[in-house]
């Protein structure tokens, strides 16, 4: 990792992902520029950067989402490239285009690739004749009540209404029968309009107890691509991931290859560049269905890094600098070493429906870290956790020679992590990790609901 890629990059994000990107940049001798809102003036990502630019404002819209301010900061500091992290501007095609126009490398795919996958309905339409299996449903342009009802009858119940422009689990509604369809469509449209300013819906068959299994892909600008295997992200609350692991338990080599190749086919279809994730639902018969592609680095990328030994941010930086995949990399040469599990530590109140919690972190003490225990944190003791941004504080990831050992290491590390002053989901995570059903890898997206009685 010593070759020259960039002199200086700007990280257009905050929290743990900004810190994580800086770690690799520093190891490569690349100078880092942080940006920050008024609420983040003393945040860890600001302290760890070589330079920091105040954007002003406190809300995301006034700061991290304001692409003009971000581009001005990059110009003012002479940053040659911008890493968008996840969230914020990371899947904003206009921003990717504005970077290119300004002569600044966007560390991510082309604006066209972001656009192609940015809308769930058009992404599915694009793949209709690609051989990649889609969740059965309707993703057409015609949006009249009549048409949606006809399609709903054809697809059958239960079904799922999703916002085409959706993300983050927002704007989804399960419809159990035709009796409520009309009202559900109206409600889903309202939700979609207020969350995304776009009320187009798509309909999917609601699969019963599927698993969420996603494939990490990576492509350079020369058409070379590999898949870095899969992650199981079935343990979710409100369709949001809570625990992720790699590899997915119970995979066969044949299924892994089929899913990996399907994911790469999706990436190739849009001439993808960089790190991307293709999300599938997997049913009990080992049938899998494409849901969507995320055109950025994912929150849960560390579990993949731990089992493959690849630094995905390093690869991202290489590709953004116009280089190919590292020379010794091929699909055949990529290993799966052992098992890794990640938990997301959120500032949220378990006694109040897990709503985001705020306050001062009077105590924040990391467990002992090692080659098998990694903490990607965006906070430090004494920080004020504000209500303005995503409430995720940190991710704790543990590796083991097998799943049992990884789980043991994670439980031990999580129990040793000390936090006080702000309510978190730490104890809830510990209970989750202690469930026999988790030890037995009885995974499906309703895992938390199904085990609710043992979690409270």
Q: Which residue number, 31 or 124, has a Cβ lying nearer to ligand ADP?
A: 124
Instruction: Establish if 447 lies at the interface with ligand ADP (CB under 6 A).
Output: no
Decide: is 167 part of the binding site for ligand ADP (CB under 6 A): yes
> Distance (Å, rounded) from C-alpha 454 to C-alpha 456?
6
The sign of the CA dihedral 255, 402, 218, 328 is negative
Torsion on CA atoms 181, 187, 190, 194, rounded to nearest 10? -130
Q: How far is the CB of 70 from ligand ADP (least distance, A)?
A: 24
CB of 272 to ligand ADP, least distance (A): 18
Does the footprint of ligand ADP cover residue 203 (CB under 6 A)?
no
**CA–CA dist 229, 435 (Å, integer):** 26
Binding of residue 237 to ligand ADP (CB under 6 A): no
Q: Using the rule CB under 6 A, is 445 a contact of ligand ADP?
A: yes
Taking a C-beta distance cutoff of 8 angstroms, is the pair 205, 156 a contact? yes
Residue from the set 184, 292, 300, 390 that interacts with ligand ADP by CB under 6 A: 292
For tokens 């049938």, the residue is 287
- What track of x and - describes contact with ligand ADP for positions 116 through 135 (by CB under 6 A)? -------------------x
Q: Which DSSP helix (H) or strand (E) runs through 440?
A: none
Selected from 39, 291, 392, 414, the binder of ligand ADP by CB under 6 A is 291
Output the residue with the shortest Cβ distance to ligand ADP. 445
In the complex, least distance from residue 171 CB atom to ligand ADP, rounded to whole angstroms: 7
Which among 20, 46, 11, 33 has a CA at the least distance from the CA of 383? 46
Among 279, 300, 376, 390, interactor with ligand ADP by CB under 6 A? 279
Q: Which of residues 339-398 bind ligand ADP (CB under 6 A)?
A: none
> Alpha carbon 386 to chain centroid distance?
22
CB of 448 to ligand ADP, least distance (A): 11
Task: Give the Cα separation of 33 and 75 in Å (integer).
Answer: 11
- One of 108, 109, 210, 302 touching ligand ADP (CB under 6 A): 210
Contact 87, 390 (CB under 8 A): yes
User: What is the phi-psi region of residue 346: left when phi exceeds 0, alpha when psi lies from -120 to 50, beta otherwise?
Assistant: beta
Q: Are 343 and 414 in contact, with CB atoms under 8 Å apart? A: yes
Locus of tokens 């070379």: 224
Tell the smallest beta-carbon distance from residue 386 to ligand ADP (Å).
Answer: 24
Q: How far is the CB of 86 from ligand ADP (least distance, A)?
A: 12
Residues 6+ apart with CB under 8 A from 140: 121, 125, 147, 151
Residue among 390, 418, 412 nearest 85 (CA): 390
Task: Return the ∠ at Cα 298 (arms to 27 and 365), rounded to 5°.
Answer: 65
Q: Tell the residue number behind the tokens 């009249």, with chain if given.
A: 144
Annotated catalytic residue within 14, 20, 200, 296: 296
Report the residue number, 70 or 303, with the smaller CB distance to ligand ADP.
Answer: 303
Residue 247: is the preceding peptide bond cis (ω within 30°)? yes
Q: What is the dihedral of CA 171, 176, 179, 185, to 10 degrees?
A: 10
User: Using CB under 6 A, which residues numbered 147 to 166 contact ligand ADP?
Assistant: 160, 166
Asked if 237 contacts 246 with a C-beta cutoff of 8 angstroms, the reply is: no
Q: Report in angstroms how near the CB of residue 291 gets to ligand ADP at its nearest.
A: 5
Residues in the chain: 456
CB 296 within 8 A of CB 84: yes
Considering only residues 239 through 268, tell me which ones interact with ligand ADP, judged by CB under 6 A: 239
Is residue 204 a contact point for ligand ADP (CB under 6 A)?
yes
Contacting residue, 212, 231, 395, 423, with ligand ADP by CB under 6 A: 212
Q: Which is nearer to ligand ADP, 1 or 284 (CB)?
A: 284
Out of 32, 236, 304, 424, name the contact with ligand ADP by CB under 6 A: 236
Figure out which of the listed residues 29, 56, 156, 169 binds ligand ADP, where binding follows CB under 6 A.
Answer: 169
CB of 292 to ligand ADP, least distance (A): 5
Among residues 188 and 375, whose Cβ is nearest to ligand ADP?
A: 188
- What is the nearest approach in angstroms of ligand ADP to the Cβ of residue 206? 5
Catalytic (active site) residue 426:
no
**Contact call for residue 280 and ligand ADP (CB under 6 A):** no
d(CA 96, CA 82): 9
Question: By rule CB under 6 A, what count of residues binds ligand ADP?
Answer: 20
Where do contacts with ligand ADP occur on this chain (CB under 6 A)?
Answer: 135, 160, 166-170, 204-207, 210, 212, 236, 239, 279, 281, 291-292, 445
**Residues annotated as part of the active site:** 296
């Amino acid at each position: 990792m010593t070759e020259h890629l960039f002199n200086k990059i700007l990280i257009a994000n905050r929290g743990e992902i900004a810190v994580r990107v800086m770690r690799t940049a520093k190891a490569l001798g690349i100078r880092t520029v942080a940006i920050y809102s008024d609420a983040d003036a003393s945040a860890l990502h600001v302290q760890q950067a070589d330079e920091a630019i105040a954007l002003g404002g406190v809300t995301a819209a006034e700061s991290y989402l304001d692409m003009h301010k971000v581009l001005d900061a990059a110009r003012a500091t002479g940053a040659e490239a911008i890493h968008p992290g996840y969230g914020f501007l990371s899947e904003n095609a206009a921003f990717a285009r504005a970077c290119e126009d300004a002569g600044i490398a966007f560390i991510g795919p082309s604006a066209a690739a972001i656009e192609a996958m940015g809308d769930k309905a058009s992404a599915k339409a694009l793949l209709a004749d690609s051989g990649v299996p889609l969740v059965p449903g309707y993703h057409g342009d015609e949006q009249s009540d009549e048409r949606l009802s006809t399609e709903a009858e054809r697809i059958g119940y239960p079904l799922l209404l999703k916002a085409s422009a959706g993300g983050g689990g927002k704007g989804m509604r399960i419809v159990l029968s035709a009796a409520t369809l009309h009202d559900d469509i109206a409600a889903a449209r309202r939700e979609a309009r207020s969350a995304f300013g776009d009320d187009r819906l798509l309909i999917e068959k609601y699969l019963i107890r599927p698993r969420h299994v996603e494939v990490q892909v990576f492509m350079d600008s020369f058409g070379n691509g590999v898949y870095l295997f899969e992650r199981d992200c079935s343990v979710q609350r409100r369709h949001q991931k809570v625990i992720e692991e790699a590899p997915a338990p119970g995979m066969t080599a044949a299924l892994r290859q089929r899913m990996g190749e399907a994911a790469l086919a999706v990436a190739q279809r849009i001439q993808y560049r960089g790190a991307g994730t293709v999300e599938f639902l997997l049913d009990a018969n080992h049938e899998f269905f494409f849901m969507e592609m995320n055109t950025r680095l994912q929150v849960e990328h560390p579990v993949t890094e731990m089992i493959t030994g690849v630094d995905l941010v390093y690869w991202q930086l290489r590709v953004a600098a116009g280089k190919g995949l590292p020379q010794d990399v091929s699909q055949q040469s990529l290993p799966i070493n052992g098992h890794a599990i990640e938990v997301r530590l959120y500032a949220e109140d378990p006694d109040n429906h897990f709503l985001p919690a705020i306050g001062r972190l009077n105590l924040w003490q990391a467990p002992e870290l090692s080659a098998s225990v990694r903490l990607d944190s965006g906070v430090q003791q004494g920080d004020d956790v504000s209500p303005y941004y995503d409430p995720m504080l940190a991710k704790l990831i543990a590796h083991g020679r097998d799943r049992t050992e990884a789980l043991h290491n994670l439980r031990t590390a999580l129990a040793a992590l000390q936090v006080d002053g702000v309510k978190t989901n730490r104890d809830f995570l510990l209970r989750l990790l202690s469930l026999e059903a988790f030890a037995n890898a009885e995974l499906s997206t309703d895992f938390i609901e199904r085990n609710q009685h043992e979690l409270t």
